[in-house]
Amino acid sequence: MIFEQEFEKLLKRVEKPARYTGGEVNEVQKDVGKCSLRFGFAFPDMYEIGMSYMGLQMLYDILNKREGVFCERVFAPGPDMECLMRDKGVPLFTLETKTPVSELDMLGFTLQYELSYTNIINMLSLAGIPFFSKDRKDGMPIVVGGGPCAFNPEPVADLFDLFLVGDGEEAITRLCSLYEGWKASGDSKDAFLKMAGKLEGVYVPSFYEPVYKENGEIEEMKKLSEFAGDKVKKCVLWDINSCGFPENNIVPLIETVHNRAVVEAFRGCTRGCRFCQAGMIYRPVRERPTESLLKTAEKQLKATGHEELSLLSLSTSDHSEFVSLATRLMAVCKKNNVSLSLPSMRLDSFSFKVLEEIGGYKKSGLTFAPEAGTQRLRDVINKNITDQSIFDSISQAAELGWNAIKLYFMVGLPTETYEDLDGIAETVKKVAEVFRQKRMKITVSISNFVPKAHTPFQWEAQDSYEEFVTKHNYLKEKLKIKGVAFSYHDSSMSVLEAAFARGDRRMAAVLVKAWEKGCKFDAWSEHFDYGLWKEAFAEAGADIGFYASRKRSYEEKLPWDTIDSRVSKEFLIRENEKAKLAETTGDCRQGCEKCGINT
Amino acid sequence: MRNKYVIELSKGGYMKYISHLDMVRLFKNAFKRAGIRLVYSQGFNPHPKLSLAQPLSLGYSSTCELLEFEIAEDLPPAEILDRMNPMMPKGIELFKCRRMAEGKSYASRAVAASYEVCIPIKAGDRCDAEGLCRDFLKQESIQAFKRQKKTEIKKETDIKGMIRELHGELLNDKIILYIKSDAGNRSNLSPELFISAFVSFSGINAAREDISVKRTGLFFSR
């Protein structure tokens, strides 16, 4: 426990002090003397971001339901707080009991996005824990990583003792049991890692060592331990209904990004968009039935008092009982004076019909993601919507009284030409025409394609920074349309994201260099400094282009080949080849496309 | 007959660090959890009829906050307290609930508030608290610097007229000031202005984070 009086003095000097106090409704407190495993759930960003992440609430719930396990939360302090903590020698602490993180048994970082990696280093530094696994002695917390970025853990492999790949619900429980037994035995950390490595979905990076070719590619992943398997298969919670869903979510005391009740409608997605990592790594689709969703929603609303309820999934209207689900959720919401939010809807006439029928749905902003400007390119990425369906739905939205629309496109997709960029402008123009009489607000948001591991585009080159800038400028001119606001994502951030998304172990050196130069909160435009990153790459002797804008051959050994997403490489190659021919692949519900998840 | 009530509550511990708006949201959530239905305003964006009489600055504790609200059913005040108190996070305690007569809200009638300001002193600092207060008030005008919201420029204002009472006492190595000052729509003195003026007048060298403030009373016009 850090000194309370000293802590209060810090609180009086920082912005949003309640980021650091804990004490929220539904926070869990336990008698630490009776806990054999003290777990820190670390979110490598600020409180407001981390508390909006449902995975935190899920694992917090599972861990704290276990007797003898106490899971507490740890976030990255804001720069003002960090400065004071370093000045006063206050180490990184948990929110629940203000315990220094270095005193915990296990520290689990969730890896949600690549640009949070410097925050991991910074948090370890604030905690006084050595960055590299090899430098951490027995008795120091076991540092665990999980989340989507654990599907290519290599850039941060040296920082972690182990990774949990895939669904965490059962995996974390197994890991806890193992830990408790091991702790009682008093054996070494090495012994623990050897046992942990045998668990499904556990990747122990220190069991492997990459060997590089002269050209920088990976020659092989040399096994350093007899406990190293050829592949680490991701964990799958096959029966999603076997595991409960949190009902007593922590209710933040301050405004967060999302402060609402959330129920997960289903995990996975059947659409098969070729750029989408979530669509590949969360397979197969596992649905929660309407009855159980309703029950959870009611209980969560009761326990939290939230004023908004939202459904979580990758494509909400794809739930097999969507009509009855939406209708009945709306009834629950009306009864409780709560507003309903249905994000990630596929905007077709079916969805609109449902939204219209359930009544009382707030028609604020509508988000459409055609992703590409021409039918050809949409076929390449397997985003199976047609021009016609886009305009039909938009006309319908206008008819039904929606007052603002957001259009999402991506630039730099494989095979893209300027014709496709013209297509974006054409699409926006037509939408603007539909909306002109209605005086609606149209926002066009352009993001940059980032090739991700375990997707059909994992071998593809990303556009260079210069290419992105040229394309943005081209679109900026073309999109000077009355009533249309245009924004685009920072190109240097996208390039860095790509480098980490497909990076190998040598990226750790870059990461540490960048941190030493002061990089942190890289996902925040006000903190991001690409100049420092360029220096870091140069000093570490790494070439960002090698990772971001280099096309790989199918034969090349990829850094993440050890991780088995259960979607086969053959399927990814097949999909990439079809992409080149602009051939589409059907929705899995219409017939199995043999990706490997079910075999 | 409308079911209007007022709850008296205290705010302390870590709850000092949540804002006025956070408090409003906390209570909206708490009523929902307690299963007590608030009355909502009509209109495009309905919001529950619930307000705190006078905003409290971040970092201050209080023993005298007032929460006014209207609910959809007629409940005995004691029952409301019994159902709401378990919903409170540590640091907020509801100690009284009563029905409210029709008429103007407390929020619109607030005129003054009293505070206890606790300032640590060091050897050599002036410590005759009561004398210090008297001398402070004897000044012809009491200048304080108020930051303009829009321009961020500090503007000098005379706060003397807004201080209604001021007393002090020495308690171990601390000076406790008891101040009653204007608080409300018509005239409002932020205790921060008073504190900076007092500290610079007295020459006490205390950092702001070492000074604590507690609100002890709210006063209303009829």
**What's the CATH code of the domain at B61?**
3.30.70.580
User: So what's the pLDDT on residue B169?
Assistant: 95
- The amino acid sitting at B17 is Y
B47 in A contact zone (CB under 8 Å): no
- Residue showing tokens 């352009």: A446
CB-based contact (8 Å) between B26 and chain A? yes
Rounded to two decimals, what is the model's pTM?
0.95
Cis peptide leading into residue A284 (ω within 30°): yes
Pair (B53, B134) in one structural domain: no
Rounded to an integer, what is the distance from CA B209 to the centroid of its chain? Answer: 18
**Which pLDDT value is given to residue B155?**
83
Q: What is residue A388's predicted lDDT score, i.e. its pLDDT?
A: 85
Q: What local confidence, expressed as pLDDT, does residue A435 receive?
A: 76
Give the torsion through C-alpha atoms of A230, A169, A172, A130, to 10 deg: 90
- List CB contacts (< 8 A) between A301 and chain B: 32
Residue where a domain terminates, one of B103, B128, B157: B103
Distance CA(B164)–CA(B214), nearest Å, equals 17
For B31, nearest residue in chain A (alpha carbons): A305
Say if residue B204 is in the same domain as residue B125: yes
Least confident of A275-284, A442-451, B146-155: B146-155
Helical (H) or strand (E) element with B155: strand B154-158
Instruction: Decide if B174 contacts B121 (C-beta within 8 A).
Output: yes
Does the pLDDT at position A2 exceed 70? no
B54 shares its domain with B30: yes
* Cβ-based contacts of A25 with chain B (< 8 Å): 26, 29-30, 33, 87, 89
* Total number of domains in chain B: 2
User: Residue A389's pLDDT is what?
Assistant: 85
> Which amino acid makes up residue A219?
E
- Structurally, what CATH architecture does the domain formed by A258-362 represent? 2-Layer Sandwich (3.30)
Report pLDDT for A355.
81
Residue A526 dihedral angles phi and psi, to the nearest 5°: -75, -15
Q: Where are the beta strands (DSSP E) in chain B?
A: 3-11, 50-52, 61-71, 92-99, 110-120, 143-147, 154-158, 163-171, 174-182, 212-220
Low-confidence stretches of chain B (pLDDT < 70) are none
> Which residue, A273, A337, A278, is CA-closest to A307?
A337
- Which stretch of DSSP H or E encloses residue A72? strand A69-75
CA-nearest residue to A29 within chain B is B90
Give the model's pLDDT for residue A1.
58
DSSP β-bridge partners for residue A364: none
Backbone angles phi, psi at A77, to 5 degrees: -70, 150
Structural domain boundaries of chain A? 4-233, 258-362, 363-501+568-599
Verify whether the Cβ–Cβ distance B37 to A337 is below 8 Å.
Answer: yes
Hey, of B18, B39, B42, which one would you mutate to test binding to chain A, going by the most A CBs within 10 A of its CB? B18
- Domain range for B212 is 111-220
**If you measure CA to CA, which chain B residue comes closest to A335?**
B37
According to DSSP, the residues that pair with B190 across neighbouring strands are none
Q: With an 8 Å Cβ cutoff, are B32 and A336 in contact?
A: yes
Q: Which residue, among A299, A307, A317, has the nearest Cα to A263 in the 3D structure?
A: A299
- In terms of domains, do B10 and B64 share one? yes
Strand-strand pairing, B212-220 and B110-120: antiparallel
Q: CA nearest A303: which of A257, A244, A262?
A: A262
> What's at A236, amino acid-wise?
V
Point out the residue among B18, B28, B33 whose CB comes nearest to the CB of A303. B33
Task: Compute the average pLDDT of residues A376-404.
Answer: 87
Distances (CA, A) of B196 to A4, A461, B138, B161: 25, 60, 17, 16
**Residue A347: predicted pLDDT:** 75
Tokens at residue A560, please?
A: 């993440």
Buried/exposed code over A226-252 (b: 16+ C-beta within 10 A; e: otherwise): eebbeebebbbbeebeeeebbbbbbbb
Residues contacting residue A285 through CB under 8 Å, at least 6 positions apart: A266, A267, A268, A269, A270, A588, A589
Phi-psi region of A503 (alpha: psi -120 to 50; beta: other; left: phi over 0): beta
CA distance A18 to A541: 42
d(CA A423, CA A428): 9
| Residue A357 or B36, more confident | B36
Closest CA to A348 of A396, A285, A311, A381: A396
B149 and B58 in one domain? no
Judge whether A258-362 and A363-501+568-599 match in fold.
Answer: yes
One-letter identity of residue B25:
R
What's the token pair of residue A379? 């076929």
Average pLDDT across chain A, whole number: 94
Query: Do residues B62 and B214 lie in contact, with contact meaning Cβ atoms separated by under 8 Å?
Result: yes
Nearest Cα neighbor of A151 from A370, A452, A404 is A452
* Residue-level pLDDT at A152: 98
Q: Is the pLDDT of residue A348 over 80?
A: no
CATH number at residue B187: 3.30.70
Look at residue A432 in the predicted model and tell me its pLDDT: 87
In a 10 Å sphere around its CB, with 0-12 CB exposed, 13-18 middle and 19+ buried, how is residue B179 labelled?
buried
Asked whether the beta carbons of residue A25 and residue B89 sit closer than 8 angstroms, the reply is yes
Residue A438 has pLDDT above 70, yes or no: no
Among B59, B87, B103, residue at a domain's last position: B103
- Region A333-356: what's the mean pLDDT? 84
Nearest C-alpha neighbor of A508 from the set A471, A537, A472, A478: A537
Those residues with Cβ within 8 angstroms of residue B58's Cβ, 6 or more apart along the chain or in another chain: A17, B16, B17, B18, B19
Beta carbons of A18 and B90 less than 8 Å apart = no
Query: How many pairs of residues across A and B have Cβ atoms under 8 Å apart?
Result: 72
Q: How confident is the model at residue A196 (pLDDT cuts 50, 70, 90)?
A: very high
List the structure tokens of A116: 């949070």
Determine which of B11, B16, B17, B192 to mutate to test the interface with A (most A C-beta atoms within 10 Å): B17
Euclidean distance between CA atoms A343 and A346, whole angstroms:
9
Could you give the C-alpha distances from A379 to A124, A407, A578, in angstroms and in order? 44, 18, 9
CB contact under 8 A, B33 and A304: yes
- CA atoms of A370 and A283, how far apart (whole Å): 22
| Residues A273, A274, A275, A279, CA torsion sign | positive
The confidence band for A595, taking pLDDT boundaries of 50, 70 and 90, is very high
A363-501+568-599 folds as Transcription Regulator spoIIAA (3.30.750)
Among A10, A12, A21, select the one facing B14 at the smallest CB separation. Answer: A21
Q: Which of A402, A283, A304, A302 is nearest to A351 (CA)?
A: A402
How many Å is the maximal CA-CA distance in chain B? 62
Q: Of B35, B48, B90, which is closest to A23 when you measure between CB atoms?
A: B90
**Interatomic CA distance for residues A563 and A561, integer angstroms:** 5
Q: Please say if the pLDDT value at position A547 is more than 90.
A: yes
Q: Which of A9, A23, A307 sits opposite B209 (nearest CB)?
A: A9
| Helix (H) / strand (E) containing A497 | helix A491-501
Q: Are residues B194 and B170 in the same domain?
A: yes
- Percentage of chain A lying above the pLDDT 70 cut: 99
Handedness of CA A74, A77, A82, A84 (dihedral sign): negative
Tokens in use for A159?
A: 């920082």
Q: How many CB atoms lie within 10 A of CB A211?
A: 10
* Tokens, residue A240: 């999603």
In angstroms, rounded to a whole number, what is the distance separating the alpha carbons of residues B52 and B26?
A: 12
Nearest Cα of chain A lies from the Cα of B221 at a distance, in angstroms, of 32
Confidence band of A371 (pLDDT split at 50, 70, 90): very high
d(CA A302, CA A292): 15
- CB count within 10 Å of CB A503 equals 28
**Predicted ipTM?**
0.92
Helix (H, G, I), strand (E, B) or coil at B174: strand
pLDDT of residue A205: 98
Number of helices and strands (H, E) in chain B?
5, 10
In a shared domain, residues B39 and B136: no
Rounded to whole angstroms, how far apart are CA atoms A99 and A91?
9
Alpha helices in A437-489 (DSSP H): 465-478
Over residues A130-169, the pLDDT tens digits come to: 999 999 999 999 999 999 999 999 999 999 999 999 999 9
The DSSP bridge pattern shows strands B50-52 and B92-99 to be unpaired
User: What percentage of chain A reaches a pLDDT higher than 90?
Assistant: 85
The CA-CA-CA angle for residues A81, A87, A89, to 5°, reads: 95
Amino acid, single-letter form, for residue A55? G
Instruction: List the structure tokens of B117.
Output: 């300001």
- Which amino acid is located at A418 in the chain? Y
Contact B122, B202 (CB under 8 A): no
Instruction: Supply the DSSP symbol for A152.
Output: S
Measured CA to CA, the distance from residue B113 to residue B54 in angstroms comes to 9
Residues 6+ apart with CB under 8 A from A81: A10, A14, A19, A20
Q: What is the pLDDT of residue B146?
A: 80
3 state SS of A136:
coil
Rg (CA), chain A: 24
Task: Indicate if the pLDDT at residue A360 is higher than 80.
Answer: no
* Residue A577, pLDDT score: 98
Q: Give which of B50, B45, B42, B1 is closest to B21, Cα–Cα.
A: B50
CA A235 centroid distance within chain? 17
* Chain A residues with a Cβ under 8 Å from any Cβ in chain B: 9-13, 17-18, 21-25, 251, 253-255, 259, 301-307, 336-337
Residue at which a domain ends, from B103, B126, B151: B103
| Residues B116 and B215 grouped into a single domain | yes
Residues of chain B with C-beta less than 8 angstroms from the C-beta of A336: 32
Find chain A residues with C-beta within 8 A of B89's C-beta: 23-25, 253
Instruction: Yes or no: say if A274 and A456 are a contact pair by the CB < 8 Å rule.
Output: yes
